[in-house]
Every structure is written in structure tokens, then in C-alpha cells.
Amino acid sequence: MVFLLLVFFLLAGTLEPTQPFPVDPPISDHSSPPASIPLLVLLDEQGRLGFEGRTLDAETLSRTIAARLESRDTRMVQIKADAKTVTDRIRPLLKRLQAVGVTEFQLLTRKNPETAEH
């Protein structure tokens, strides 16, 4: 019985890369689901960058994103920035990603619980 439960949870669970640090995105009144699974970059309030479960410096992130874009038909990157992150930390990241070929960005937010439909 325990083995069957274990197999069930392994098959039913979602496998995603773990996030190297917690990020609490800002709240938004609107949300739209992505058309395909884009690349996800994390940015915390201290300016740390995360990608595919690892904390990376800006140069390594640029090289990694450039390599991933070669095998994709979309040039979109999602950015999950902490709500406390200042804009001065986001702008250099956008410029760096744009320099390696990213043409579209999505800034991820949380749904506003006050305007959520019941």
C-alpha cells in the first residue's frame, strides 16, 4: 500500500526546478497565462539572480540565456522579481537580456486578492 501511494505521488507531482531563493512578486489586477513555457529569471530584493534552480552572476546568466535561446523558437523571458526590488535593479537586467537576444519580457505578478473574482 505504501509503495502504491509513493508511485501515485511521484506520478501526480509536478517536477519543476527548485528556486534558489524565495521571491515574492508584486500584486496585479490582471493576469494572462503564457502561451508556452518561457525561460524564467528570478531577481530578489538584494539583486541576486536565479535561473534553473541556481543562483548566477549577471555574466553567467547572460551566457546561459543566450545558449538557451539558440534552441527555442521564442525569444521571451519571464522575470519574477520580488515586490521590494527597486526598478534600478530591473533595468540593467532587461538591458543585459536584450543584448543577448531576448525580444519580449513578462514581469510576473500575483493576483490581487481584493479584485479576484469569487
Share of the chain above pLDDT 70, in %: 81
Q: What is the pLDDT of residues 38-86, one digit of tens each?
A: 899 999 989 999 999 899 999 999 999 999 998 888 889 999 999 888 8
State the pLDDT confidence band at 102, using cuts at 50, 70 and 90. very high
Q: Which residue has the higher pLDDT, 84 or 1?
A: 84
| Mean pLDDT of the 5-13 span | 69
**Predicted pLDDT of residue 103:** 92
pTM recorded for the entire structure: 0.68
Mean pLDDT score, 83-94: 89
> Structural domain boundaries of the chain?
20-111
What does the pLDDT read at residue 49? Answer: 95
In degrees and rounded to multiples of 5, residue 95 shows phi and psi of -65, -40
CATH 3.30.470.10 fits 20-111, yes or no: no
